[in-house]
Amino acid sequence: MTKTSAGPDGVLMSGKIYEVDAPEAKRLLNASAAVALEPLPAEEIETASVEPEQNAVMPRGRPKGKRKPGKK
C-alpha cells in the first residue's frame, strides 16, 4: 500500500502488504493507493484507444505598425 485506505472492510495501512480480491485491487490501483506485486489477470485489464485532442488555433491579428496620420 502506498496510502492508507479505510472502508467498510477495515483499514489498510500504508507500507504493508495485503492480499485482496481482483475488484478491490483494481479500485486501489485506480486510486493510486496501492502497487500491484503481481500482474492482474488478462480479463481484468481494460484497454482503450484514445484520440488525440484537437487544439484550437487563434486567428492571427493584424500586425501592429505605425498609425497613419489623421486616422484613429
The pLDDT tens digits of the residues spanning 5-55 come to 888 888 988 899 988 888 888 888 888 888 888 887 666 556 677 777 777
User: SS3 string of the chain?
Assistant: CCCCEEECCEEECCCCCCCCCHHHHHHHHHCCCCCCCCCCCHHHCCCCCCCCCCCCCCCCCCCCCCCCCCCC
What are 71's three cell numbers? 486616422
Q: Does pTM top 0.85 for this prediction?
A: no
